[in-house]
Chain A
Amino acid sequence: MEISVMSGKGGTGKTTVSINLALSAGEKIRFLDCDVEEPDAKIFLLPRMERIEYSTVSIPVIDEKLCTYCGKCAEFCIFNALAVIKKKILFFERLCRSCSGCWLICPERAITEGKRENGIIRYGEVGEISFMEGELKAGEETGYSIVRDMRKIPYKKDLITIIDCPPGLSPTLLEAIDKTDFSIVVTEPSETAFHDMRLSLELLERLKIPCGVIINKSSGRESFIEDYCSKKKIDILLTIPFDMEIACLYSKGIPFSIEIPLWKNKFRDIFKKIVKSGKSL
């Protein structure tokens, strides 16, 4: 079973929910930090990193000995990653989306498929958690290929996976929630987070992914969120108050469910509830 944790708006508490859920589960967990632009979960989980792998994307490799500069590849490339100027062929790797078009259509077979690094996947262990994070090189166009690679790594199917998603509603997010069995949308009582929560729930409905909401930084004035969820028949799984103790622990990188047993129990309860609902499907 795979559980994704998303929010739309950044900073609402995706990572907080993901790590506390993983630490409270009471069983072995696979944890995927898919926020590839800013992977932060390790700061809280402190995993022992055991190995890294470079994540790669396909790129064209051009054999200039065979190239006749006919320009067909550049003409085909919708991403403008190739240009042919007189007797010169230029490749702009950051624009390439690895669609394979150029090496498929080259009449001289001068282009073959090669690889380029665009990020790193790190593997680690901590307690009951088998940890994995993807990190995109700064300035890379998009990280969805890293997330796709991470999601494709084989694992024992009885393990439960928790996926800490990237913010926004980008293709990278789409890869992170794709075919997950349940998605938690983390929100907070602000107009902006509420706005993004609605978009997230719409997307999940379209993809037919069962979901629930967690309200973070609650001030007790979030009836607008509750009303919306009850109208849409979406469970509010948990409400976490805005609390100086929780904020201070967060700032020090300490997951609050470790320090406050009451919260460990609450997270364990919702974890069990989600797993149970997944099994009944």
Chain B
Amino acid sequence: MEEKDTDIEKEEDMSKINELIVISGKGGTGKTTIVSAFASLAKNKIMADCDVDAADLHLIMNPEIRHRENFIGGTRAVLNQDKCIKCGKCIELCRFDAIKDDFCIEEPYCEGCSVCSYFCPVKAITMEDSISGEIFISDTRFGPFVHAKLGIAQENSGKLVTEVRKKAKKLAEENKFNLIIIDGSPGTGCPVIASLAGATSVLIVTEPTLSGIHDMKRVVELSKNFSINPSVCINKYDINIELSKKIEDYCMKNSVDFYGRLPYDENTTKAMVARKTIIEYSSGEFSNSIKGIWIKLEEKLEI
């Protein structure tokens, strides 16, 4: 009985760590700009970049890598040319067209299923671990930062996202921080799902363009599937005021929290080029608006 109680206590302790994930659906809406601004504004937090397909947050964070480890995403088929009798069984069976007519395995296409290796009559194919990426824990001027790099055309970004989040959680516990801010990946696929499952709060960054709205709706739906009520903010709201209003209306109707508008501002690009957060770079309207959004998020997260 006593044991059970401690377990519950432990769970409560764990649940005190808030995970705020910032996503957009459509790429290029300004997700990374906004996440990096939060890095400037939030205290006692772990930053994490889950946009592992094209990880970019580190360009602003300027991390000093403290710990790195290989990420083994799975296995890959390796063909021993000396043993191969070129019977063609593997080519016939491979569902991923990974074995070319000259019996060379195109590694990026191999999924590691091991069908070829199992059915090879002369056991010329073995399955070997493949390093599909690297995970880093770094120090930055904003505190600890977990990020990752996936090899080109490597799968398993969902798995890697989960791994990044696990590391961030552990770091948060060690540092007794109660907040993790995550730069999510674009789209609605596996990496996004992997970053949503178990998140406390979701901020969707959209823009007043037809494609921006279209994609925002998809990620709102997706968040709701995870029983998360997302908040929305509009970046570059002034490039189309009419559509910005439509986004706000949509949020109202669907009881999605609307947290604010950010103007189109060339300083965001300049800050990026200077490898600074917008808060560090300028104190203009954009920075003020983003501070407003952050205050609302702090209230929602109760931090």
B113: which of A99, A168, A203, A248 is its contact (CB, 8 Å)? A99
C-alpha gap A105/B115 in the complex (Å): 9
Q: Does B155 contact A (CB under 8 A)?
A: yes
Q: A217 contacts which chain B residues (CB < 8 A)?
A: 269
User: A244, B93: Cβ atoms under 8 Å?
Assistant: no
- Whether B59 lies near A100 (C-beta < 8 A) is no
Which of A38, A192, A251 contacts B56 (CB under 8 A)? A192
Chain B residues within an 8 Å CB radius of A191: 56, 59-60, 272-273, 275
- A248 close to B239 (CB less than 8 A): yes
Asked if A190 and B273 sit within 8 Å, CB to CB, the answer is yes
Q: Contacts A10-B28, A40-B214, A189-B273 hold; do A196 and B56 have CB atoms under 8 A apart?
A: yes
Q: At the interface, yes or no: A173 with Cβ under 8 Å from chain B?
A: yes
Asked if B222 and A138 sit within 8 Å, CB to CB, the answer is yes
For A143, list chain B residues within 8 Å (CB): 189
Q: Among the interface residues B32, B119, B210, B275, which one has the most CB atoms of the partner chain A within 10 A?
A: B210
* Number of interface residues, chain B, beta carbon within 8 A: 59
Report A-chain residues with C-beta under 8 Å of the C-beta of B115: 99-101, 104
Q: Within A166-211, which residues are at the interface with B (CB < 8 Å)?
A: 166-171, 173-174, 189-192, 195-196, 199, 202-203, 206
Q: Which residues from 234 to 270 on chain B have a C-beta closer than 8 Å to any C-beta of chain A? A: 236, 239-240, 243, 264, 266, 269
A-facing residues in B20-69 (Cβ within 8 Å)? 25-29, 32, 53-54, 56, 59-60
Chain B residues in 8 Å Cβ range of A8? 54
**How far is A61 from B209 in the complex, measured between Cα atoms in Å?**
44
A90 interface hit (Cβ, 8 Å): no
- Closest chain B residue to A250, Cβ basis: B209
Q: Is the CB of A139 within 8 A of B54?
A: no
B108-152 vs A: 1/0 string, CB under 8 Å?
110111110011000000000000000000000000000000101
Q: Are B189 and A171 in contact (CB under 8 A)?
A: no
Complex interface: chain B residues within 8 A of A97 (CB) = 111, 113
A9 neighbours in B (Cβ, 8 Å): 27-28, 54, 56
Q: Does B104 contact A (CB under 8 A)?
A: no
Scan residues 212-230 of chain A and give those whose CB is less than 8 A from a CB of chain B: 217, 219, 221
- Among residues 131 to 186 in chain A, which have CB atoms less than 8 Å away from a CB atom of chain B? 136, 138-143, 166-171, 173-174
Say whether A202 contacts B240, CB under 8 Å.
no
B7 at the interface (CB under 8 A from A): no
Contact with A along B59-85 (1 / 0, CB 8 A): 110000000000000110000000000
Q: Is A253's CB within 8 Å of the partner chain B?
A: yes
Separation of A192 and B60 alpha carbons in the complex (Å): 9
- Tell me if B230 counts as interface (CB < 8 A to partner A): no
Q: Counting CB contacts under 8 A, is A11 at the interface?
A: yes
Q: Could you list which residues of chain B lie within 8 angstroms of chain A, going by C-beta atoms?
A: 25-29, 32, 53-54, 56, 59-60, 74-75, 93, 95-96, 108-109, 111-115, 118-119, 150, 152-153, 155, 157-158, 185-190, 193, 207-211, 214-215, 218, 221-222, 225, 236, 239-240, 243, 264, 266, 269, 272-273, 275
A interface residues with partner B (beta carbon < 8 Å): 8-12, 15, 37-38, 40, 43-44, 58, 76, 78-79, 97-101, 104-105, 136, 138-143, 166-171, 173-174, 189-192, 195-196, 199, 202-203, 206, 217, 219, 221, 242, 244, 247-248, 250-253
7 inter-chain pairs at a CB distance below 8 angstroms, sorted by A residue, are A38-B25, A38-B218, A78-B74, A104-B93, A173-B153, A189-B273, A242-B266
